[in-house]
Structure 1
Amino acid sequence: MGQLLIILLFLPLVSAVITAFSGRSAKYVALISGIASLAVALFAVVNFTADSSTQFVINYPWIATFGINFHAGIDGISMITVLLTNLLIPIIILASFKHQYKQESAFFALILAMQTGLLLVFTAMDAFLFYIGWEAALIPVYFICAIWGGKDRIKVNIKFFVYTVAGSLFMLLGIIYLYLQNPAHNFDIQALYNLSLDSQQQGWIFWSFFIAFAIKMPIFPFHTWQPDTYTEAPAAGTMLLSGIMLKMGIYGVIRWLLPIVPAGVQHWGETAIILSIIGIVYASLIAFKQRNAKRLVAYSSIAHVGLISAGIFALNTQGMQGAMVQMLSHGINVVGLFFVLDIISSRLKTNTIEELGGIAKVAPQLAIVFLIILLGTVALPGTNGFIGEFLLLMGVYQYGIWAAVIAGLTIIFGAVYMLRMYQGIMLGKTNDLTIGFTDIQGTEKITLYIICALVIILGVYPKPILHISEAAVQHLLEQVNQKLISVN
């Protein structure tokens, strides 16, 4: 079944090349590729055995002199992120249909190229391959934001690029050090898991990886690139960044940081939780003051990711399972929110809340789907956001009651500022700007109906997602605990 993973990895890359030369048909070629990749991913899910093993493994010598292999596979943890990537890419492509982009073929080819980088990150079992995927996912989205972004795109994207490259260099140093400590002189993930490192070594390796992952998520205080980048990026760029790319950081913590340097996590994990909780409160308070709806959702994302990070570093099953579910739910919800705001912005040329109002009267279908997605975001029971945030709070509560109390503010604050945003945009009286607003149609309807269906289905029946990751999560925590016992 290794051939399945080869198809999954290289289908979007081949499609990106074809799309680049497809001219006016580029968006249709890209959509067909996205749907085909989703079909392959769903086939992988159906044929996946929900245990702790790694399946669909491929392992080919690549740069043999340095012990580098093209080694990849899928377990229950990576299956969630692979599914998320292949689910959201066709949705993001479909959401982009209503726009007319200059150099359209290049735009959609870059989305597919980024998909390949993302899938490499989520399936790599070789640290060097993981790093290649990490950088390969960054380059396309940088060009998407720099070429098709807003008026301040160059300045904002330079900041984004400097942040992420600096973080990547820290991680590269950590990877090289681990390679030098490995008697087998290779980058194999299991060999790195089995390394015997003292507490001091694990401490500095923790920070070399954590900084890279914290920037990508992002969590406080490594977040300052995010609001400006989300605001200036084109809609598809914002969706890619928020829906999928930030999950690279979360996945990196789970897959690489925890099992390689558990003593470092034990020593510095409290610091990571404190930073995560500070980020929750800080981002929520800043969100209250935002007049631009897109920036408000950007700060909301920081708060939600802060809770995911805290749940992971709590090092228990509930927190880890909550992170798995919430990665998927947050990706769906945030893509839906940014798409709604893109619809409003493309019609009215503004996302300033004070300039809007009364849109529900002239666009009732948009009002309904917007509300469903928003309720998923604020974790209303019965929506996809609820089970993830409930498990995350349970995990943080097991770590410490006060940490859970403060982290729980993300739900309370989120409900207030998100519903207030909805009220300002959709309710009240129409004005001269919004009176002529037209309701959703065509691909807008299809995209938003799919997202709303996912919000409800995953909220009512999250068991399949929990089942996929459960055994892998428990195995990972057992590995961490066993290694902690041996170190201590």
Structure 2
Amino acid sequence: MSDFKFLSVLTVAPLVGALVVALLPRHKPTLAKQVAFVWSLALFVLTVVMWATFEAAGDRFQFRESYPWIDTWNVRFTLEVDGIALVMIALVTLLVPLVILASWHDAENAQAAGGKRSVPAFFALLLALESMMIGVFAAGDVFLFYVFFEVMLVPMYFLIGSYGGARRQYAAVKFFLYSLVGGLFMLAAVIGLWVVSDPHTFDWQTLTSQEFATWTERWLFLGFFVAFAVKAPFFPFHTWLPDAGGAAPAGAAALLVGVLDKVGTFGILRYCLPLFPNASDYFAPLALTLSLVGIIYAALLAVGQNDLKRLVSYTSIAHFGFIGVGIFAFTTQAGSGSVLYMVNHGLATGLLFLVVGMLVTRRGSALVSDFGGAGKLIPVLAGVFFIAGLASLAMPGTAPFISEFLVLIGAFTVNKPVAIVATLGIILAAGYVLWMVQRTTQGTPNPELHNVPAMRRDISAREVAVVAPLIALLLVFGFYPKPLLNVINPAVAATMQDMGKQDPAPTVATNQEASK
């Protein structure tokens, strides 16, 4: 394992890049874009090197760094990654350069629509958000995690509020308030955790070895769970997401739904389950119920949406229900499926949001009814939109299918009714995704499309560079997920061990039973 300080560099470097880009002159927008893109691309290369250095069969937490911070409270600036955190950091550093490339003209469009921020500020905010997201996944200290958890709201708030659509200010405030209130619950739990721990500490590894009184553990669990349920979002804490996803620029929405929301499910895996195993077991039926309601309810709402960005946001709420089922099934198979789902959902929904952004930019509208037959004018882009839709509904041959299959199989071994109800979500997903594609790109072209010059411009070389890596990864991992699972499986198995959970023994029928 290398002694290079990967995690501190990956956490601090985007923030330095954000400062550099923000200080560039406003009258040089192209330079700001180029610097931001090259900077983010360098961070992705560094992440690839870190991945290559990570030993899947080695220690659970690698590249650990710990520095003194607040001695009075025994708080340290500790960064460490296991396989779960590693795949999430890799997802962050992959998506950010693609989002920058896809958002090449978004800031200028926001200026034309009355936006107040400069072009350099837009790309600086993207880099600042990257720093916060890497930090929250790499944090090995509970207090440090909370700091990153809250601070990452700030760049996303300004991305939505300054560069979003018509309802951007309402959506930004709603996003901020929901997340802030959820964060206050976690703050109370973080303080309570420090008070009841002996010795007083925020160190994750030390806390996992401690036991708490039953009711204390349950209250602490709820404080963390509510914050994570809002962030994920789980039903009924989901109402901010359609507004934020619908109003945000497409690139920011891709990061919001593709990565930022995963902090909620990541937090449940990293903090709720290992720190409060008995409480996690106690509240599992409630969590599974919320997940199932989210799968069905969000799918039904998605069917009736006329706004493409809101529709994709609702599909994500349904997908998070599957992740929740995988987490609270408490089997390694379902747990690995849920982590893999987090990665694959980031790839698929990131692609879908970016392609929707390309369509909206051309049409000047996000309403499905304003398209209709668009595939006749932009056949290649319509084809990419179709592929993104198939990946979103977990079509066999695409990466989300593997993760969804693992979640359902892993859940079925311990809770058949939950797995059966969740399976209904697959049918609904096929309905809302295929109907979205049909209404948008198929059928008789909308006559108004011929009056929009941009609708005659098919996918550009820059846009191909954005979508090609995501499509390639969705197809490769759809047939060969081993590189991801080799990293994820040991971390999930360790999480189940922290909880004291064991997979159910396989049932083998006797020859006499089989003959019946």
Q: Same fold (TM over 0.5)?
A: yes
Match of 1:443 among 457, 462, 468: 462
Matches of 1:141 and 1:426, distance apart in 2: 31
Find out whether 1:77 has 2:84 as its counterpart: yes
Amino acid in the other structure paired with 1:449: A
Q: Report the counterpart of residue 252 of structure 2 in structure 1.
A: 237
Deviation at 1:27, TM superposition (A): 1.2
**Structure 2 matches for 1:118-137, cutoff 5 A?**
118-137=133-152
State the match for 2:45 in structure 1: 39
Question: 1:366-395 CA deviation, whole Å, 9 max, x = no partner?
Answer: 122112211111111111111000011112
Q: CA deviation at 1:482?
A: 6.9
Helix, strand or coil for the counterpart of 1:19?
helix
Query: In the alignment, residue 256 of structure 1 is paired with which amino acid?
Result: Y
SS in 2 for 1:223: coil
User: Among 86, 95, 106, which residue is 1:88 paired with?
Assistant: 95
CA contact (8 A) 1:277 1:406 kept: yes
Alpha-carbon distance in 2 for matches of 1:244, 1:53:
23
Aligned length: 483
- The corresponding residue for 1:419 is 434
Distance 1:455 1:98 in 2: 26
Contact 2:298 2:314 (C-alpha < 8 Å) held by counterparts: yes
The answer to whether structure 1 residue 407 and structure 2 residue 430 are counterparts is: no
**1:170 pairs with 2:185:** yes
Unaligned segments of structure 2, at least 5 residues? 112-117, 503-516
Give per-residue Cα distances to partners, 1:280-321, cap 9 Å, x unaligned: 100011111111121111110000011101110111111110
Alpha-carbon separation, structure 2, partners of 1:314 and 1:388: 14
Opposite residue 19 of structure 2, the aligned amino acid is: V
Asked whether the 8 Å contact 2:56–2:490 carries over to 1, the reply is: yes
Please tell me whether residue 452 in structure 1 is matched to residue 474 in structure 2.
no
CA contact (8 A) 1:117 1:135 kept: no
- Counterparts of residues 361-380 of structure 1 (less than 5 Å): 361-380=376-395
Which of 34, 52, 64 is the matching residue for 1:28? 34
Match of 1:184, SS? coil
Of residues 343, 353, 374, the one that matches 1:359 is 374
Q: How do residues 4-403 of structure 1 correspond to structure 2 at under 5 angstroms?
A: 4-23=6-25, 24=29, 25-51=31-57, 52-99=59-106, 100=108, 101-102=110-111, 103-403=118-418
Distance 1:431 1:127 in 2: 54
Matched, 1:473 2:482: no
Equivalent pair of 2:160/2:249 in contact (CA under 8 Å): yes
SS at match of 1:434: helix
- Could you tell me how far apart the structure 1 residues matched to 2:153 and 2:395 are? 33
> Counterparts of 1:411 and 1:209 in 2: how far apart (Å)?
30
Q: What's the CA shift for 1:2?
A: 4.9
Question: What is the one-letter code of the residue matched to 1:55?
Answer: Q
Q: After superposition, give the CA deviation of every residue in 1:441-465 in whole Å (9 maximum; x if it has no partner).
A: 1311211122211211111211100
What is the distance in 2 between the residues matched to 1:2 and 1:56? 8
C-alpha distance in 2, partners of 1:306/1:352? 26
Equivalent in 429, 440, 444 of residue 429 of structure 1 = 444
2:249 & 2:382 partners in 1: Cα distance? 23
Structure 1 residue 66: Cα displacement: 1.2
Is contact 2:122-2:159 (8 Å) kept?
A: yes
The structure that has the greater radius of gyration is: 2
User: Where in structure 1 are there 5+ consecutive unaligned residues?
Assistant: 484-488
| SS of corresponding position for 1:92 | helix
Is contact 2:99–2:252 with CA below 8 Å preserved after alignment? no
Specify the code of the residue in structure 2 equivalent to 1:42.
Answer: V
In 2, are the aligned partners of 1:145 and 1:153 still within 8 Å (CA)? yes
The letter for the 1-side match of 2:459 is I
Name the stretch that deviates more: 151-160 or 124-133.
151-160
Residue identity in the other structure for 1:387: I
Q: CA deviation at 1:396?
A: 2.0
The AA in structure 2 aligned to 1:225 is W
Aligned partner of residue 433 in structure 1, secondary structure: helix
Identity of aligned residues (%): 38
The CA distance in 2 between the partners of 1:338 and 1:254, in whole Å, is 26
Amino acid at match of 2:68: P
For residues 312 and 364 of structure 1, the distance between their equivalents in structure 2, rounded to whole angstroms, comes to 40
Contact 1:22 1:29 (8 Å CA) reproduced: no
Would you say the 8 A contact 1:97–1:443 is kept in 2?
no
Q: Is the 8 A contact 1:325 1:466 kept in 2?
A: yes
Is residue 464 from structure 1 mapped to residue 483 from structure 2 by the alignment? yes
Q: Give the SS at the match of 1:71.
A: strand
Equivalent residue of 1:430, what SS? coil
CA-to-aligned-CA distance 1:9-53 (integer Å, 9 cap, x gap): 111111111011123211111111111110111001100000352
Aligned counterpart, 1:486: none
Distance 2:197 2:432 in 1: 50
Which amino acid is 1:31 matched to?
F
Higher deviation after alignment, 347-356 or 212-221: 347-356
Deviation of 1:185 (Å): 1.8
Contact kept? 2:21, 2:36, Cα under 8 Å:
yes
Q: For residue 17 of structure 1, give the secondary structure of its aligned residue in structure 2.
A: helix
Q: C-alpha offsets along residues 228-271 of structure 1, whole Å, 9 cap, x if unaligned? A: 11111111221121011001001000000100011111111110
Task: Give 1:433 shift.
Answer: 2.4
Deviation larger for 106-115 or 17-26: 17-26
Q: How far, CA to CA, are the matches of 1:111 and 1:399 in structure 2?
A: 42
8 Å contact kept, 1:280–1:303: yes
Offset, 1:98? 3.3
Give the C-alpha shift of residue 431 in structure 1: 2.1
What does the per-residue CA deviation read over 1:183-235, in whole Å, with 9 as the maximum and x for residues that have no partner? 22221001211221122111111110110000001010000111111111111
Range moving further from structure 2, 52-61 or 272-281: 52-61
Q: C-alpha separation between the residues in 2 aligned to 1:231 and 1:372? A: 21
TM-score by length of 2: 0.91
Taking the aligned partners of 2:341 and 2:244, their CA distance within structure 1 comes to: 23
CA contact (8 A) 2:299 2:318 kept: yes
What is the alpha-carbon distance in structure 1 between the residues aligned to residue 369 and residue 250 of structure 2?
A: 21
Contact map agreement 2:8 2:79 (CA 8 A) in 1:
no
Q: Distance in 2 between matches of 1:9 and 1:352?
A: 38
